[in-house]
Amino acid sequence: MTRLLLATRNTKKLDELRRILTSAGIDELTVVGLADVEPFEESVEAAATFSDNALIKARDAARASGLASVADDSGLAVDALGGMPGVLSARWAGRHGDDEANLRLVLDQLSDVPDERRTAAFVCAAALVRPDGSETVVLGRWHGTLTREPRGTNGFGYDPIFVPDGDTRTSAELEPSEKDEVSHRGQALRALVTHLRELASA
């Protein structure tokens, strides 16, 4: 068995990658998280793109652990905000991780923006860095529009104000399994599967 490090402490993310590998028939890789390896110093995520942030995290993890490592970075790109909050999604209102303040600020900023210009996309970059130093980055995009008030209690971040194209519910009103199948993260991780299959058979 080859160990694959997913650079996260979030057990839901670990389980999600394990499910994706299982359903792809890849059973040669054991997914481990940051809690399973020696602690190391992690860089501040301050790059200008999701791809660079994911790469920085995956490189840190691969260098410290010697394992093939996957990391992701994601956020909401709002067209009327020039693609922001983007890489600043988690700290849009100024403090890190205040979901309620972040989504409220986006709604306030867009209060005069008409419905036809309230388009947005959740974007996820997933990076794979191999022990030989070779790198792969893939992107997943989930397109939709923004509501004027939050709805729903599933998910996190901007889920309560994002209505995916083709649906009328916000992503916080989708079942978690529904969201996994179509979301930006799901898309990005599934786009990595081909590369992980090669890694598993190498």
Which residues are annotated as part of the binding site for substrate? Answer: 8-13, 74, 156-159, 179, 184-185
**Residue 139 within binding range of a second copy, rule CB under 8 A:** no
* Residue 116 vs 132, nearer CB to a second copy: 116
Site size toward a second copy, by CB under 8 A: 25
- The interface mask with a second copy, positions 63-82, x = CB under 8 A, is -----------------xxx
Sheet of 68-78, strands arranged across:
29-32, 2-6, 68-78, 119-129, 135-146, 162-164
Stretch that binds a second copy, among 58-66, 83-91, 128-136, 194-202 (CB under 8 A): 83-91
The only residue of 42, 45, 98, 180 in contact with a second copy, by rule CB under 8 A: 45
The CA-based angle 90-92-98, given to 5 degrees, is 55
Answer yes or no: 72 catalytic.
no
CA distances from 144 to 21, 168, 189 (A): 27, 10, 20
* Residue 26 vs 81, nearer CB to a second copy: 81
Q: How far apart are CA 146 and CA 202, in angstroms?
A: 44
Count of residues making up the chain: 202
Q: How far apart are CA 108 and CA 137, in angstroms?
A: 34
Three-class SS state of 85: strand
Give the CB-side neighbour count of residue 28, counting CA atoms within 13 A: 10
Which is catalytic among the residues 52, 73, 108, 165? 73
**Shortest spacing between CB 43 and a second copy, in angstroms:** 11
Which residues are at the interface with a second copy (CB under 8 A)? Answer: 44-46, 48, 80-84, 86, 88, 91-95, 104-105, 108-109, 111-114, 117
Active site residues: 73
